[in-house]
Amino acid sequence: MTLADLCRPDFPILARKVNGKPLVYLDSAASSQKPRQVIDALRGYYETSHANVHRSIHTLGEEATALLESARDSVREFIGAEQREEIVFARGTTDAINLVAQAVGRTIRPDDEILVTEMEHHTNLIPWQMLCRDRGAVLKAVPVVGEGVLDLEAFSRLLSPRTRVVAVAHVSNVLGTINPVAEIVSRAHAAGALVLVDGAQAVPHLPINVASLRADFYAFSGHKMLGPTGVGVLYGRRAVLDSLEPAWGGGEMIKEVWIDHAQWNDLPWRFEPGTPPIAPIVGLAAAVEYLSKLGMERVAAHEHELCRLTLDLLSKNGDLIIYGPRNLEIKSAVVAFNVRGLHPHDVAHLLDEEGIAVRAGHHCAMPLMRRLGVVGTVRASFSVYTTPGEIELLAKSLANLHLMI
């Protein structure tokens, strides 16, 4: 039994039809579908245990707090963090990266440098642009070369004693490139820079161990890893989090407050002002449990085979231009392509008529689109429930596209 055969009965949405055809959901990089276990955890939480956390002494308040804090332990274990204090709950990757830009931003001076890459999602670019604008710092980008990999020689040349932060995607949401994060971290640390890794497209697909990557920050979203929307995680290395002022102020991030000053709370709560997204955090713990039971090595192997099949089948179609590495060792669960002579939106629309959901457009990566010389691409992306049969259907529909116009 394949992994997808095992999982599919858990995902109620996969039974629905779209335009009279069985749904073929190839848009998991935008947001994955949810297993019954996650949906049940959300319902169960609201039906039996909801109250605010970290404040109410009554039974429900304590139950909700225990659920939230045990979710923190699950996430810590899932990504291999050394301490639970290093796991900060955020609203998503975007929120987590803005949190870092805000907190680290206070220490940035004019002419300091921030280094991003040309393949970043806007989420890992715009907060740094805003920071550089506000603090008079300089933003630089590592070029994308060849089939869609980072130019590591240029990276080393761009690093300087002025580099304060290196912000890099673990996996590109367009090219599927798996970047050599451990190597990037080691070179950046040697130059004295902090490293933030955008793990939005990595945590759902690869076994992750943040302690061995040695990154200072690692951000990801719940909704791309079978969990609910509205929750994400910022991993921060203890020593680095300890050295930072909070990003934002509010309730629960303090110990003691006077009218003109306050004493900050301990980690990780210092970075979690206000009521957290409690139900989504409970749902995220269920998603972590689900993925852990499957085993991330097995998930990665399953998606590796799907990538191989997609590249094999799509490269037989001479009308297609495929982007990203062909080397499967550095390619994750995303395949972007274009059909010669057709706008990506038209391709996505025609595929939708067949029940096939793909994403089309710039994928929030406009600088990368410029580097590729395109306005956008079509993108097929996979998850645990994606089957080889669905990839074959995609390839067949693309081969028949001219008949559909």
Number of residues that bind ligand PLP (CB under 6 A): 13
Q: Which is nearer to ligand PLP, 34 or 354 (CB)?
A: 34
| Helical (H) or strand (E) element with 245 | none
With a CB cutoff of 8 Å and minimum separation 6, the contacts of 210 are 79, 80, 81, 86, 218, 235
User: Cβ 98 to ligand PLP, closest distance in Å?
Assistant: 9
Contacts to ligand PLP from residues 23-62, by CB under 6 A: 30
Do 196 and 233 form a contact (C-beta atoms < 8 A)? no
Q: Which amino acid, 402?
A: H
Q: Please report, for residues 30, 72, 73, 122, 396, the alpha-carbon distance to residue 361 in angstroms, rounded to integers and kept in the order given.
A: 12, 35, 37, 14, 22
The amino acid sitting at 240 is V
Quote the CA–CA distance of 71 and 286 in Å, as a whole number.
8
> Residue 187 gets which letter from DSSP?
H
Nearer to ligand PLP, 169 or 291 (CB): 169
CB of 272 to ligand PLP, least distance (A): 17
Given 49, 221, 332, 377, the residue binding ligand PLP (CB under 6 A)? 221
Q: What is the 3-state secondary structure (H, E, C) of 250-278?
A: CCCCEEEECCCCEEECCCCHHHCCCCCCH
Catalytic residue among 7, 132, 307, 364: 364
Q: What are phi and psi of 208, to 5 degrees?
A: -120, 135
Using rule CB under 6 A, residue 310 touches ligand PLP: no
Residues 312-351 that bind ligand PLP (CB under 6 A): none
CB of 377 to ligand PLP, least distance (A): 14
Pick the closer one to ligand PLP by CB: 4 or 203.
Answer: 203
121 forms part of the interface with ligand PLP (CB under 6 A): yes
- Is 164 a binding residue for ligand PLP by CB under 6 A? The answer is no
- The region of 49-57, 100-108, 120-128, 208-216 touching ligand PLP under the rule CB under 6 A is 120-128
Q: Could you say which of 92, 105, 230, 325 contacts ligand PLP (CB under 6 A)?
A: 92
Binding ligand PLP (rule: CB under 6 A), the pick from 75, 81, 104, 169 is 169
Among 28, 98, 173, 381, binds ligand PLP (CB under 6 A): 173
Q: Residues 123, 177, 383, 387: which binds ligand PLP (CB under 6 A)?
A: 123
**Token code pair at residue 159:** 């690093």
Radius of gyration of the CA atoms of the chain, in A: 22
Q: The tokens of 297 are what?
A: 């090595």
Nearer to ligand PLP, 365 or 401 (CB): 365
Least gap, CB of 124 to ligand PLP (angstroms): 6
CB of 317 to ligand PLP, least distance (A): 26
364 is catalytic: yes
Give residue 184's identity as a one-letter amino acid code.
I
Tokens of 254: 């303090």
Residue from 28, 98, 201, 265 in contact with ligand PLP (CB under 6 A): 201
Residue 177, interface with ligand PLP (CB under 6 A)?
no
Site for ligand PLP in 229-288 (CB under 6 A): none
**Binding status of residue 210 toward ligand PLP by CB under 6 A:** no
Sole window of 86-94, 102-110, 150-158, 374-382 interacting with ligand PLP (rule: CB under 6 A): 86-94
| Nearest residue to 379 via CA among 399, 358, 400 | 358
Confirm or reject binding of residue 381 to ligand PLP (CB under 6 A).
Answer: no
Other Cβ atoms closer than 10 A to 221: 29
Q: How far is the CB of 320 from ligand PLP (least distance, A)?
A: 22
The owner of tokens 């900050």 is 264
Interacting residues of 240 by C-beta distance below 8 A, sequence separation 6+:
194, 216, 217
CB 337 within 8 A of CB 314: yes
The full DSSP string for 275-288 is S--HHHHHHHHHHH
**What six digits make up the tokens of 172?**
């590109």
Distance CA 303, CA 381 (A): 9
Regarding 198 and contact with ligand PLP (CB under 6 A), the answer is yes
The residues of the shown chain that bind ligand PLP, judged by CB under 6 A, are 30, 92-94, 121, 123-124, 169, 173, 198, 200-201, 221
**Any idea which residues carry the catalytic annotation?**
364
